[in-house]
Structure 1
Amino acid sequence: MQNLPQKIRSKKLSTKVDLTAMVSVSFLLIIFFMVTIELAKPKVLDYYLPNCIDEQYRSVCNISNENRIMTVLLDDNNKVITYTGLLYVPIDTPKTTKYGKNGIRKVLFERNKKVLEYSTALGKPGRGITVIIKPSKNSNYGNLIDILDEMAIAKIEAYAIIPEFTPEETKLLASN
């Protein structure tokens, strides 16, 4: 018998695939999307307007915190108009100011200081002003960013951006 060359057989490799890394990546992706969805939800401030808007109902209307409300109207040419309270009986009359350290920032700091002192006297310390920002159609996006920067610098925690104007505010913007 002759020695015949034997057939060389290839070694069979295991067909198992290790999916441990794939499971880890999928869990990381799931966690990432859950967190980003949660962070993308808008944080909403409850904003209550009084039911009495006309001047004739002022004697009947009870607004407990009107001295905490400051309204900032943004107009063209970097013009900022501020008033505190309600426009038809303001606590601080409407004033035109500008952006910057000696403008709106100074007004925000002073008003917030007064309101904090008032709140402390009432036994509710730490309740500062609520600023209502109303950009007009003539104001630009940069004005809105500037006023939001001023809110951050002045450490105003409660503010709302509302695009609607009352007829009195529209007249005020037209006259200035």
Structure 2
Amino acid sequence: MAEISQGGGGGSKDGKVRVKKSSTKIDMTPMVDLAFLLLTFFILTTTLNKPQTMELTMPEKEKEGDKPPEVNEKKVVTLILGPQDKIYWYVGITDPKVELTNFSKDGIRKILTSKDKEIPGMIILIKPGKESKYKNLVDILDEMTITSMKRFALVKITTADEDLVKESNL
């Protein structure tokens, strides 16, 4: 048992005889038991940080002979992730006019919400460039979630897209 003993009073130097105080003993066992029970309770009932994941639905692999689905080109918005946190974007497929924006709320978020109102059934093609960072891809996927875009796809960047970015001089 754990105890704390304190010495009792004895005689004094002046020669008077006093009654000796009995020493007090405090049993610490119940307090230690309670501390460990509380510690065990809090450890077992605490939830640890759950990893935050974003659900991304990927299409099935194409089989030989399958045609890609046909899409109205006026409903396609292409986002090309460039170097230094830049986003090159254009509407349509043929004869695109490339514009430049960034990841701010007045940048890509404003463009996505305005184009969503203008173009019903809009499809967004996200094309990460060779010089873009992984962080940019995560940021654009976050923007898709924030702006509630339902139809978007991750697509490999083509040489035509790279040429468009070089020719845009933005």
TM-score by length of 2: 0.57
* Aligned partner letter, 2:59: V
Residues 41 and 111 of structure 1: is their aligned pair in 2 closer, same or farther, counting only changes over 3 Å?
closer
State the distance in 1 between where 2:57 and 2:141 align.
16
Out of 86, 90, 102, the residue aligned to residue 83 of structure 1 is 90
Out of 94, 100, 103, the residue aligned to residue 96 of structure 1 is 100
Q: Between the two structures, name the one with larger relative contact order (CA 8 Å, sep ≥ 6).
A: 1
* Aligned partner letter, 1:168: A
* Aligned partner letter, 2:143: E
1:174 equivalent in structure 2:
166
2:68 equivalent in structure 1:
48
Unaligned runs of 5+ in 1: 1-39, 51-63, 117-127
Aligned to 2:68, the other structure's residue is in SS state coil
Residues 96 and 42 of structure 1: is their aligned pair in 2 closer, same or farther, counting only changes over 3 Å?
closer
- Aligned positions, number: 109
**What aligned pairs does 1:1-176 form with structure 2 within 5 A after superposition?**
42-44=57-59, 48=68, 65-86=72-93, 88-90=94-96, 93-116=97-120, 128-165=121-158, 167-175=159-167, 176=169
Aligned to 1:174, the other structure's residue is in SS state helix
Q: Deviations over 1:3-51 (max 9, x none)?
A: xxxxxxxxxxxxxxxxxxxxxxxxxxxxxxxxxxxxx99542899376x
* Aligned partner letter, 2:113: F
Residues 158 and 144 of structure 1: is their aligned pair in 2 closer, same or farther, counting only changes over 3 Å?
same
- Which moves more between the two structures, 40-49 or 155-164? 40-49
Higher fraction of helix? 1
Matched residues, percent identical? 32
* Aligned partner letter, 1:103: G
Unaligned runs of 5+ in 2: 1-54
State the distance in 1 between where 2:112 and 2:100 align.
13
How much is the aligned-residue C-alpha RMSD, in angstroms? 2.6
Tell which structure's C-alpha radius of gyration is larger.
2
Aligned to 2:78, the other structure's residue is in SS state strand
* Aligned partner letter, 2:92: G
State the distance in 2 between where 1:162 and 1:79 align.
17
